[in-house]
């Protein structure tokens, strides 16, 4: 049976931009179903309303309109009940800056209802699992960005909640630590059926780890499906990236067509074209006099970023790491 962990309907929250300004919606009309036991992602650039949505899912922000149900029960903002089911990792945890890593994990486990003995065991296990043992006595604020993020992930995992809501859990992590986090999440999912909801603006990460993804733009969900199906929805297009050695000949008809249809970053042009169109353009570029001006090119199948752009999203700062 398909079971939803979260059911979100018509969610809206505004904030005031200034003292006399009109309320601006941080998000508006959000409808989502987040299946239990999966890894669900929220993808979008900065300012798309990802963190606002995530904070509503944890019951930190009271919606102006709409509802959030968690396993069938409505979430009331400010209720302690949500914290019994959900663990939340904020983008940053400044509350723990001056707390040693080991104490931060064990105190959090205690505050999630574990006994003192159990909390110490949990802290030791998590320090070993995420390879943080050497940092146990260091305050979080004294750690490097990546170490600090990893320690915050350990804090979120303390006390094994059935739902993990994580705001950019792998930002700033090196590949080894990133792998350790994904392994830790996969283990909990496999062994306990943990539901993971995470925010990311890393397109490649979203494609490789998410079961479902919601694309957010200016506070609205513009698409929600599996990464594979979303990419298939724009599969009639490919992305052609060109890097020019010097200014290309503008009298060439293919160059002028590409010039009109590309987004440009210096001498790097990116165009989204139909398969046949891209093939024809590339044939012409590499066989004619334009080849001298061309430094490099790539032809790629659509990524989630292409889906995002095809659906009208703004691509301000999404990462392709």
* Site residues, other proteins (CB under 8 A): 1, 3-4, 7, 13-15, 26, 36, 46-47, 51-52, 55, 58-62, 71-73, 77-78, 80-88, 90-96, 98-100, 103-104, 107-108, 110-113, 139, 159, 161-163, 193
Smaller CB separation from other proteins, 97 or 319: 97
Q: Is 221 exposed, middle or buried (0-12, 13-18, 19+ CB in 10 A)?
A: buried
46, 52 contact by CB (below 8 A): no
Smaller CB separation from other proteins, 26 or 215: 26
Helices (H), the chain: 50-57, 82-85, 101-111, 116-129, 145-157, 175-192, 203-209, 227-232, 253-261, 275-287, 304-310
Minimal distance, residue 219 CB to other proteins, in Å: 10
Q: Which residue has 């210096």 as its token pair?
A: 266
Q: State how far the Cα of 289 lies from the Cα of 281, in Å rounded to an integer.
A: 13
Smaller CB separation from other proteins, 104 or 180: 104
Smaller CB separation from other proteins, 83 or 288: 83
Minimal distance, residue 15 CB to other proteins, in Å: 4
Minimal distance, residue 296 CB to other proteins, in Å: 37
Minimal distance, residue 42 CB to other proteins, in Å: 14
Terminal-to-terminal C-alpha distance of the chain? 36
Task: Please name which of 127, 131, 192, 123 lies closest in space to residue 158, comparing C-alpha atoms.
Answer: 123
Minimal distance, residue 140 CB to other proteins, in Å: 10
Smaller CB separation from other proteins, 155 or 304: 155
């Amino acid at each position: 049976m398909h079971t939803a962990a979260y059911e979100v309907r018509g969610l809206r929250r505004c904030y005031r931009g200034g003292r006399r300004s009109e309320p601006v919606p941080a998000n508006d009309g959000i409808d989502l179903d987040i299946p239990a036991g999966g890894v669900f992602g929220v993808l979008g650039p900065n300012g798309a309303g990802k963190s606002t949505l995530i904070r509503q899912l944890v019951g930190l922000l009271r919606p102006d309109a709409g509802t959030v149900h968690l396993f069938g029960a409505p979430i009331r903002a400010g209720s302690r009940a949500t914290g019994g089911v959900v663990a939340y990792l904020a983008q940053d945890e400044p509350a723990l800056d001056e707390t040693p890593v080991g104490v931060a994990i064990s105190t959090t486990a205690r505050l999630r209802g574990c006994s003192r003995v159990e909390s110490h065991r949990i802290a030791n296990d998590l320090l070993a699992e995420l390879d943080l043992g050497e940092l146990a006595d260091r305050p979080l604020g004294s750690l490097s960005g990546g170490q600090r993020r990893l320690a915050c992930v350990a804090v979120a995992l303390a006390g094994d909640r059935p739902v993990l809501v994580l705001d950019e859990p792998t930002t700033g992590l090196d590949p080894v630590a990133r792998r350790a986090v994904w392994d830790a999440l996969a283990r909990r999912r496999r062994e306990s059926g943990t539901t993971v909801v995470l925010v990311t603006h890393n397109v490649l990460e979203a494609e490789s780890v998410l079961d479902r993804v919601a694309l957010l733009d200016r506070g609205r969900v513009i698409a929600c499906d599996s990464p594979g199906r979303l990419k298939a929805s724009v599969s009639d297009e490919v992305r052609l990236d060109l890097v020019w050695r010097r200014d290309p000949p503008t009298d060439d008809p293919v160059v002028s067509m590409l010039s009109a249809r590309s987004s440009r970053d210096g001498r790097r042009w990116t165009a989204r074209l139909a398969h046949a169109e891209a093939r024809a353009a590339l044939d012409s570029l590499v066989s004619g006099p334009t080849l001298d001006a061309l430094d490099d090119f790539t032809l790629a199948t659509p990524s989630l970023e292409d889906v995002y752009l095809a659906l009208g999203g703004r691509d301000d700062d999404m990462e392709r790491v």
